Amino acid sequence: RGIRSMRFLSEADVPGTVRYHNAFEIPAFVVMDLVPGPTLQTVVMQRPNMGWDMVLEIAYRLVRIIRKSHQLPKGVMHRDIRPPNIMFKEEWSGADNWDIVVLDFDLSWHKDAQEKSIAIESYSGYLAPEQVIRDGRYTTRSTLVDSYGLGMTLFFLRTRAEPTFLQPGQAGWEDLLETLARSNPCREWVSLPRRYFRLLMNCTYFEQSKRWDVSQIEAELKRMKAALLEPQH
């Protein structure tokens, strides 16, 4: 299923995804383009003073990739969004010629897929609650699973802190986001940190139906970018 998801993305030429190449050898194998750059996790940990402008640009590009995947006729959902699965195409130096790609569609889902879901035995802080806790009210075949993964990835992007398992469902999550908003100031736009961490809360509600969908996340990041970089407009 993961290979098929990659094929759909390649055929649709979705920006920010790695090219998939058919192979006809026996035994069969899959070939993907080499991505020579670092992961998002590496870049964030090596650059502790990343500015708000770069944080918003990375976040916006990532969300656009995921939304375009959702908009395909087959509706490809990644379902494992986290910093190690996001890579920079080249060694990142802060220049304008960088771009990101999303990798590892092993947990993905798409319309009309027939395979059984992979059993998850991970305690990653990026997995949505419904991926780990089986509850008949919520489905793992929802784009809102990706909303959660995006929210926790954006949490790491700004804070450099790895989220803990099911952290948004624990007492004090909202207070933590308030504290982080105060401790990550933005001189150019004082309200930006509060708005950013409020976005994270809207992405990561424990109750799936309360989460923002990816189109709402994209629109909010676009507004935040415009307000920060082009305040005259």
Could you give the CA distance from residue 228 to residue 97 in angstroms, rounded to a whole number? Answer: 21
Residue 32 three-state SS: strand
Q: Is residue 94 over pLDDT 60?
A: no
Q: How confident is the model at residue 91 (pLDDT cuts 50, 70, 90)?
A: low
> What pLDDT does 117 receive?
65
* Average pLDDT rounded to a whole number, residues 196-221: 97
Residue 203, both tokens: 């992405």
Q: Is residue 84 over pLDDT 70?
A: yes
Q: Is the peptide bond before 15 cis (omega within 30 degrees of 0)?
A: no
Could you give the CA distance from residue 151 to residue 163 in angstroms, rounded to a whole number? Answer: 10
Which element (helix H / strand E) includes 214? helix 214-229
pTM: 0.91
> What pLDDT does 135 receive?
79
pLDDT digits (tens, 9 = 90+) for 166-192: 999 999 999 999 999 999 999 999 999
- Give the closest residue to 122 by CA, choosing from 107, 144, 104, 142: 107
